[in-house]
Amino acid sequence: MILQINHDHQRFRKIVKGKIRDDLRKFLTRGELLGREGHKYISIPVRGIDTPHFRYGDNNDSGVGKGDAKAGDALGDGDGMGPGGEQEGRHLMEVEVSLDELAEILGEELKLPRIRPKGKHRITAERDRYVGIRQSGPESLRHFKRSFRRALRRQMMSGLYNPDAPRIIFERRDKIYRSWKTVLSPQSNAVIIYMMDVSGSMGDEQKELVRLEAFWIDAWLRKNYQGIESRYIVHDVRAAEVDRETFFRIREDGGTRISSAFRLARELIDKTYTASEWNIYLFHFSDGDNSSESDSRECCALLRQHLLPGLNLFGYCQVASAYGSGNFFNVVTEQLSSQEAVIATRVNTKDDIYDSIKKFFAAGR
Amino acid sequence: MNRRLPADIAEQADRIAEFARLESLDFYPTVFEQMTSEEMSQVAAYGGFPQRYPHWRFGMEYERLRKQHRYGLGRIYEMVINNNPCYAYLLVDNMMVDHKTVIAHVYAHCDFFKNNYWFSKTNRRMIDEMANHATRIRRYMDRHGVERVERLIDTYLSLENLIDPHSAFMLRERPRGEVRRRAREEDERRPATRYPAKTYMDRYINPPEQMAREQEEDRKKEEKAKDAFPPTPMRDVLGFLLEHAPLEDWEADILAIIREEAYYFAPQGQTKIMNEGWASYWHSTLMTRYILTAEELVDYCEHHSGTLATYPGRLNPYKLGIELLRDIENRWNTGRFGPAYDACDDMAVRRLWGKDKAPKHRVVGRGSPGREKIFEVRALYNDVTFLDEFLTPEFVDDQKLYQYRHDPATGRMVVVTRDFEKIKQQLLFMLTNHAQPYIYVVDGNYRNRGELYLAHKHTGADLDVKYAVETLKELHRIWKRPVHLNARIDDDPILFTFDGEQSSQQHIDDSLDHPRAKF
């Protein structure tokens, strides 16, 4: 059935995607896109447009709640009937979404750029996902909790349930089974190499930003592209390959020689990933404070001569740092501006992460 | 889909209506329709109406509601429109017991719409009116372009909250002639400040030259005020713009539509707690007293407690409303009211109040003084007056209410106090003017240059500066001359200005021109 509201909904989606009404872009709300790493669930806000109106500001963050808490106890964030009243300001509602779903939402606007069918065997892959329930199915897929609940309800209603000796017996009609859907997803051979600067000039805050960005790129890619390989490199003056866990956790110190990482990446590519067989994506995260000008020059030379010819994309993401010049960003943009496969972004706060990812993966580039 | 109600549900609706009438609920005829959840999301996004004008914000709301439904975060159980006849929607895949609960709940809402004073001025043909609005705006879109009309609506919506919910109850604007006449009369009656004095002391205590000077000053002030425009600061900014902003006919018509709809919805915002409390009170009373069958009990209890659930640190208007109504009923049944009770500050005595005097066969429920009292409350009060009058320390204690505040040090919400006065103050602040700031039009001809001067009446919280600056830009699109906003930020009076090209802020002191009217 076609609902009248679909028209309004379409229009809203178009505004969110920036196709129409550019003047509203600046009022788009997205709040915190980033959830906790390592947990399965994260909370994301629903997109909204918050047109300006006169409202109270920050010194108004108080309200009345209900419960057992003592004075001084902290509440969960955003609890309570806030001063926003009932109707207004609720556009930004936190929804608990699984990582998969979040990646899906990201995916509406993003695409792995310039991916090409390479390699032999992988065009599409089938995957089963358990997405619903049904009345019949194999016992191995029985949804125990739901079945139990139905049985309990039936027994309570028919008076068979004895709370002192609770014994729930399933009947045929109580049983509920999981059902699945087969999803086809395209596959290409692709490898993503993440390189991170973990030198001393990167403070905890910078590392946190880098990790979040890398985490999201990783989450999104894994969701949307099956069979993607990821390799992780950390470097200060020396580079080393590490596993995913270590990459997101490691704390190090020392100076910075960016070329070390590039050299390692080159070795990796030469050894395992030939450009004719693989889509190769290279990401580098740093505060841009390289140890010397000559090393920066060497980086550019490495990139231009050895790496870029075989790469689909080189993404450079620079975080703002209290120390250092952050000069490498300029080096990259100036020296390599003619290269189509090079994208450089800056991330100063968490808010920038989304834009940065979008810049890397803007759909239809 | 076919929205007609199946016979069995229709039969239940009639049955429940009879019980409701028996309990003296008095409502408009009510039409129930059933809908799928998708349709329900649409109708909910449209604020309950089947037809609204085209605008993306309904699409935004729809997306939110649909996601909410999809992730199982909540579903819309009931939806009812203040209209004569009342329209209400039932979710098609609900169980019968849910339908019954919703129907009982809806009748109480209808009773509230019909009898609460704050709803007395609302248009009871709003469904038709909304459809008319939609047609008119579609026509303007055909003629002037979707984008242009939509942009204009966005601008109006930025100012949508600048209405005066009390204005339906007052004489809108006195004719200018009358204002002048009254001012003149007052002038003649009151010859400056004269202190009482014996005759022989009079010329020392009230020196004639001083009197003359004051009189002259007063006269000048009055003279100035005569030209004030509007004569007194007014809160109905939308109304003022409608009258005086340089708008094309169609632009003004759209503004009139937005304003009318804002006024229509205002009483619902003013009575959220009472309205939901009243409806919950009655679905609970009707269901448990008359309607529930044994096998429905468990499901009913689950859903009833679901609606009234309060999570730690959260306040549920349904819960607050129903508990406070029950508390009032109970207090009036046990004589816990009146000056003697109010004056008593011995908590122990208050707790036991009325216990000793309770007659053996006290009437509760129908016909009891408590029941009569809550009927009176539903007719006369809104959320603010409701809480102001009936919130008691015992209630706050029993309900475990507390006040919380954002702690800038940790960035978390922290429980501050369980002190009754503080909590009450906080609740009232949150409810007053629907938690919207008070903005007045002070001068529509500021500096005699046709500039618009608004002012924020500071009631404890500052305006959000970023939002205010952007809103002024929107306002300028309508007024088309420089616009100003006087607001106190960090105890400093600031004049925000947008002149069409740039925004500016300056500290208000005597070097700035004053608006004509006093604020």
Residue B2 inside a domain? The answer is no
Whether residues B349 and B372 share a domain: the answer is yes
CB within 8 Å: B415 and A70: yes
Whether residues B159 and B264 share a domain: the answer is yes
User: Measured between alpha carbons, how far is B24 from B368 in angstroms, rounded to an integer?
Assistant: 12
Q: Which residue from A26, A80, A79, A91 is spatially nearest to B45, judged by alpha carbons?
A: A91
Residue B424 inside a domain? The answer is no
Min mean pLDDT across A43-57, B225-239, B287-301 is at A43-57
What would the pLDDT profile of A48-85 be if each residue is shown by its tens digit?
788 888 888 765 567 787 777 777 777 654 433 333 32
CB within 8 Å: A69 and B312: yes
Residue A114 inside a domain? The answer is no
Where is B140: in which H helix or E strand? helix B126-144
Whether residues B287 and B331 share a domain: the answer is no
Whether residues B59 and B140 share a domain: the answer is no
Residue A59 inside a domain? The answer is no
Does the pLDDT of residue A111 top 90, yes or no? no
Cβ neighbors of B393 (< 8 A, separation 6 or more) are: B347, B420
Task: Please compute, for residue B83, the number of CA atoms within 13 A of its CA located in the half-sphere on the CB side.
Answer: 20
pLDDT value, residue A268: 86
pLDDT value, residue B137: 95
What would the pLDDT profile of B94-150 be if each residue is shown by its tens digit?
889 999 999 999 999 999 999 999 999 899 999 999 999 999 999 999 999 999 999
Domain that holds residue B359: 309-406
Residue A99 inside a domain? The answer is yes
Interface mutation target, options B39, B314, B416, B433, chain A, most CBs of A under 10 Å:
B314
Give the residue-averaged pLDDT of B176-202. 66
Contacts of A81 in chain B (CB under 8 A): 314-317, 430
What would the pLDDT profile of A149-195 be if each residue is shown by its tens digit?
999 999 988 888 888 888 888 888 889 999 888 776 656 677 888 88
Smallest CA–CA separation between B44 and chain A, in Å? 11
Whether residues A141 and A168 share a domain: the answer is yes
Residue A231 inside a domain? The answer is yes
Percentage of residues in chain A having pLDDT higher than 70: 72
Does the pLDDT of residue B154 top 90, yes or no? yes
Whether residues B25 and B110 share a domain: the answer is yes
Exposure b/e, B254-285, CB count within 10 A at least 16 = b: bbbbbbebbbbbbbbbbbbbbbbbbbbbbbbb
What would the pLDDT profile of B234-273 be if each residue is shown by its tens digit?
889 999 999 899 999 999 999 999 999 999 999 998 899 9
CA B397 from chain centre, in angstroms, equals 27
Residue B89 inside a domain? The answer is yes
Residue of B nearest to A72 (CA): B415
Whether residues B261 and B284 share a domain: the answer is no
Does the pLDDT of residue A34 top 50, yes or no? no
Whether residues B145 and B252 share a domain: the answer is yes
What would the pLDDT profile of B59-106 be if each residue is shown by its tens digit?
988 887 877 776 555 667 788 999 999 999 998 888 899 999 999 999
Whether residues A243 and A298 share a domain: the answer is yes
Does the pLDDT of residue B56 top 50, yes or no? yes
Residue A26 inside a domain? The answer is yes
Whether residues B287 and B382 share a domain: the answer is no
Whether residues A168 and A254 share a domain: the answer is no
Whether residues B133 and B257 share a domain: the answer is yes
- Virtual torsion, Cα B112, B117, B118, B123, nearest 10 deg: 80
Nearest to A59 among B38, B414, B462 (CB): B462
Whether residues A163 and A216 share a domain: the answer is no
Residue B414 inside a domain? The answer is no
Min mean pLDDT across A222-231, B258-267, B379-388 is at A222-231
Exposed/middle/buried for residue A214 (C-beta within 10 Å: 0-12, 13-18, 19+): buried
Q: Is A20 on the interface with B (CB under 8 A)?
A: yes
Whether residues B317 and B371 share a domain: the answer is yes
Segment of B92-101, B228-237, B360-369 carrying the highest mean pLDDT: B92-101
Between A52 and A326, residue with greater pLDDT: A52
Give the residue-averaged pLDDT of A208-220. 77
**Distances in whole angstroms, Cα of residue B429 to Cα of each of B162, B164, B421, B462:** 17, 17, 12, 13
Residue A76 inside a domain? The answer is no
Whether residues A159 and A241 share a domain: the answer is no
Min mean pLDDT across B56-65, B214-223, B381-390 is at B214-223
Whether residues B397 and B479 share a domain: the answer is no
Does the pLDDT of residue A37 top 60, yes or no? no
Residue B287 inside a domain? The answer is yes
Q: Is A74 on the interface with B (CB under 8 A)?
A: yes
Whether residues A209 and A237 share a domain: the answer is yes
On whether the CB atoms of residues B452 and B479 are closer than 8 A, the answer is yes
Give the residue-averaged pLDDT of B270-288. 93
Residue of A nearest to B150 (CA): A21
pLDDT value, residue A110: 60
CB within 8 Å: B464 and A67: no
Percentage of residues in chain B having pLDDT higher than 90: 48
Residue B183 inside a domain? The answer is no
Whether residues A167 and A191 share a domain: the answer is no
Residue A354 inside a domain? The answer is yes
On whether the CB atoms of residues A338 and A87 are closer than 8 A, the answer is no
Radius of gyration from C-alpha coordinates of chain A:
26
Contacts of A20 in chain B (CB under 8 A): 147
Both structure tokens of A283: 């990401």
Domain that holds residue A146: 136-175
Segment of A165-174, A285-294, B171-180, B385-394 carrying the highest mean pLDDT: B385-394
Whether residues A201 and A159 share a domain: the answer is no
Whether residues A269 and A194 share a domain: the answer is yes
Whether residues A169 and A223 share a domain: the answer is no
Around Cβ A131, how many Cβ atoms within 10 Å?
A: 10
Whether residues A45 and A143 share a domain: the answer is no
Whether residues A160 and A269 share a domain: the answer is no
Does the pLDDT of residue A137 top 70, yes or no? yes
Q: What is the mean pLDDT of chain A?
A: 73
On whether the CB atoms of residues A334 and A299 are closer than 8 A, the answer is no
Tally of domains within chain B: 4
Nearest to B414 among A57, A73, A88 (CB): A73
Tally of domains within chain A: 3
Residue B243 inside a domain? The answer is yes
